[in-house]
Amino acid sequence: MKVNVIVLNYNGEKLIPECLPSIIEAKRASSNEVIVTVIDNQSTDGSLEALKQYSDEIDVQMRQNRVFCSFNDVVGMHGEDVAILLNNDIRVDRGFIDPMVSVFYERKDAFMVAPKCYDFDGEALEGGRSKGFIKFGWFGAIARYPGWEDEVDVFDYTFQSGFGAVRCDRFHELEGYDDLYLPGRLEDSDICFRAWEKGWKCYYQPDSVVYHKGGESFKNKFGVKGISAIDNRNSLLFFWKNISSWEYWLRHVVFLPVRLARWTIRGEMSAVKGVFEAFSRIQQVSERRRIKRNDPGRLSDRAIFGYFR
């Protein structure tokens, strides 16, 4: 297959020499036809200068800083079958490409394949498999659950992943990442949920291994409280956009005021702020729900979450 490993970079001057050489080495080791593309999202540090030393091995694309949405018009631009989407804080094993690509040969229903992920030092397993759920009317996805570290079959499911391989044609059929969630968080859950609705699946490939520093750019820009507000806002946006079950909605309506009251009493005002920010985007959510209603024959949300009980 033709494969494009696409790295999203913003102010990653220090991360580039730590991570990019491993990706170039994996490209050389693959039996597939592989290119490496770096998307630079208007970096203000020395990223572009740092990338010059790898100019013979990579293609650099300049894009407006739209976080994951910057992938949308780069995936498939070179006619590749599979795109492997990575952040700039990820280094990889030399043989990480081919195991993921092999899943697309063996599972014709695959939309996405997630690798096994360790922390950057390779000492602790971060995950790779995740479960999506609705609890007390609130959407969440979790990588650490009972049994999450167990050895599993290659074709075990994952609900979503923030990085991994996607089939380019299906990525574009889904119209890529949704800018509703900008500046980020849960847009990966959203696109994978939409893939599950179509009957496509997201697989976990433990033979493909990466090492992740973990949201360095995002933490530096927004801080803990800012991330809390964005997380809560986007959890609500995901629910309002995607969930149809009346049972889930009943619990949502009942428990949302309870959550707000509890956060207020505890002084967790960043969480409260996220809720009000979600309501400010209600018109955008309504437009997207209207589009979904015109696309019948989708797998129900209860059936999707049923894969991960």
241-257 per-position pLDDT tens digit? 999 999 999 999 999 99
Q: What band does 293 get if pLDDT is binned at 50, 70 and 90?
A: confident
In this predicted structure, what is the pLDDT of residue 155? 60
In this predicted structure, what is the pLDDT of residue 152? 64
Instruction: Classify domain 2-218 at the CATH topology level.
Output: Spore Coat Polysaccharide Biosynthesis Protein SpsA; Chain A (3.90.550)
Q: What band does 284 get if pLDDT is binned at 50, 70 and 90?
A: very high
Give the whole-number percent of the chain exceeding pLDDT 70. Answer: 94
In this predicted structure, what is the pLDDT of residue 151? 63
* Mean pLDDT (whole number) for 36-59: 96
Phi-psi label, residue 136: left if phi above 0, alpha if psi -120 to 50, beta otherwise: left
* Mean pLDDT (whole number) for 70-92: 96
In this predicted structure, what is the pLDDT of residue 176? 96
Instruction: Name residues whose C-beta falls within 8 Å of residue 269's C-beta, 6 or more positions apart in sequence.
Output: 263
Task: Give the residue range(s) of CATH 3.90.550.10 domains in the chain.
Answer: 2-218
* Mean pLDDT (whole number) for 59-87: 95
Contact 230, 222 (CB under 8 A): yes
In this predicted structure, what is the pLDDT of residue 216? 61
Q: Give the sign of the dihedral formed by CA 300, CA 185, CA 82, CA 76.
A: positive
Angle at 36 between CA 35 and CA 42, to 5 degrees: 145
The number of residues making up the chain comes to 309
Q: Is the pLDDT of residue 168 over 80?
A: yes
* Mean pLDDT (whole number) for 284-297: 84
Residue 202, strand partner residues? 112
Q: Is the pLDDT of residue 296 over 90?
A: no
pTM: 0.93
198-223 per-position pLDDT tens digit? 999 999 999 999 999 876 666 777 78
Instruction: Name residues whose C-beta falls within 8 Å of residue 267's C-beta, 6 or more positions apart in sequence.
Output: none
